[in-house]
C-alpha cells in the first residue's frame, strides 16, 4: 500500500488557503491519489461541534487557555477519526489549519507563548506532524479586506483587533523559521494562479512529483 501524506495549509485570515487547498486536492486526484480534504477546528462531527463555539460569537467569550484546550480537543477528535485512518490506508490528507494555527493564534496572537501550546501537543500527539506545511503570508490589511467580502458568521477571529492580526502574521513567520524542513512560506498577496504555481512547486519539490 502506498504511503499516505499529510499536508497542512496555514496563514492568517483571508490568505486564500481554502481555494488553494481545493486546487491542490484536484491536482492530486487527477494523478490517481486518494485525497481527503479537511479543516480545523473541525473535520469530524465532534470537532465541528467544537468549531461552532470557537469561530462565532463574542470576541471575549473565552480566555486564551480555554481556547487552547478547545482547539486541542477538536484536534484529538479530528486526528483520531479522520487524519490517522486516512494516512493508514494510504490517502493524502490536505488540511486547512493544524497545530501551527494554535501556536500562532493562541501562542503568539493571544500571548500564551509557545511552551504551553507545544507541551500540550506533544503530550497528546507525540511526534506526529505534517509532512509539509504551506504558510500563506500577506499583509494584514489585505487579508482582512478579503474577509469583509466573503461574509458569513464564522468571523470571531476576524473581528479581533489589528494588533492581534499583526502578532498572528509574525507568529506564522517565526514558525516557518523554527521548522524550515517542514514549512514553506507562500506569498499569498500574488494573483491566485501565481500562488497556485508556487504551491505546486513546493509540493513537487517535497515529494518528487510532477503535478501541474
**Residue whose C-alpha is closest to residue 175's, from 93, 124, 126, 117:** 117
Cα–Cα separations (whole angstroms), residue 90 to 3, 85, 87, 95, 173: 5, 9, 5, 16, 31
pLDDT, position 148 = 82
Q: Enumerate the β-bridge partners of residue 162.
A: none
pLDDT, position 183 = 98
Q: Where do the domains of the chain lie?
A: 5-207
Taking a C-beta distance cutoff of 8 angstroms, is the pair 73, 121 a contact?
no
Residue that is written with C-alpha cell 461574509 in the block: 151
pLDDT, position 1 = 55
- HSE-CB at 15 with a 13 A cutoff on CA atoms is 25
Q: List phi, psi (to 5°) of 67.
A: -60, -45
Strand ranges (E), the chain: 5-11, 35-39, 92-96, 132-137, 183-187
Tell me the pTM: 0.96
Tens digit of each residue's pLDDT, the chain (212 residues): 568 999 999 999 999 999 999 999 999 999 999 999 999 999 999 999 999 999 999 999 999 999 999 999 999 999 999 999 999 999 999 999 999 999 999 999 999 999 999 999 999 999 999 999 999 999 999 999 998 877 678 899 999 999 999 999 999 999 999 999 999 999 999 999 999 999 999 999 999 999 98
CATH of 5-207, one of 1.10.287.130, 3.10.20.30, 3.30.70.100, 3.40.50.300: 3.40.50.300
Distance from C-alpha of 41 to C-alpha of 3, rounded to nearest angstrom? 25
pLDDT, position 151 = 64
pLDDT, position 94 = 98
Amino acid at each position: 500500500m502506498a504511503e499516505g501524506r499529510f499536508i497542512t495549509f496555514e496563514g492568517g485570515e483571508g490568505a486564500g488557503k481554502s481555494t488553494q487547498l481545493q486546487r491542490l486536492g484536484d491536482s492530486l486526484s487527477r494523478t490517481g491519489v486518494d485525497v481527503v480534504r479537511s479543516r480545523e477546528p473541525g473535520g469530524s462531527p465532534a470537532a465541528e461541534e467544537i468549531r461552532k463555539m470557537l469561530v462565532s460569537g463574542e470576541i471575549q467569550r473565552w480566555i486564551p487557555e480555554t481556547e487552547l484546550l478547545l482547539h486541542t480537543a477538536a484536534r484529538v477528535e479530528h486526528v483520531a477519526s479522520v487524519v490517522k485512518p486516512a494516512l493508514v490506508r494510504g490517502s493524502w490528507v490536505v488540511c486547512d489549519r493544524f497545530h501551527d494555527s494554535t501556536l500562532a493564534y493562541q501562542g503568539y496572537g493571544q500571548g500564551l507563548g509557545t511552551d504551553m501550546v507545544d507541551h500540550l501537543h506533544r503530550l497528546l500527539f507525540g511526534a506526529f506532524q505534517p509532512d509539509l506545511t504551506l504558510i500563506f503570508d500577506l499583509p494584514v490589511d489585505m487579508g482582512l479586506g478579503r474577509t469583509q467580502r466573503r461574509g458569513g458568521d464564522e468571523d470571531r477571529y476576524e473581528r479581533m483587533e489589528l494588533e492581534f492580526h499583526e502578532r498572528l502574521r509574525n507568529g506564522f513567520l517565526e514558525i516557518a523559521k523554527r521548522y524550515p524542513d517542514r514549512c514553506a512560506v507562500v506569498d499569498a498577496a500574488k494573483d491566485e494562479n501565481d500562488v497556485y504555481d508556487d504551491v505546486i512547486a513546493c509540493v513537487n519539490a517535497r515529494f518528487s512529483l510532477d503535478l501541474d
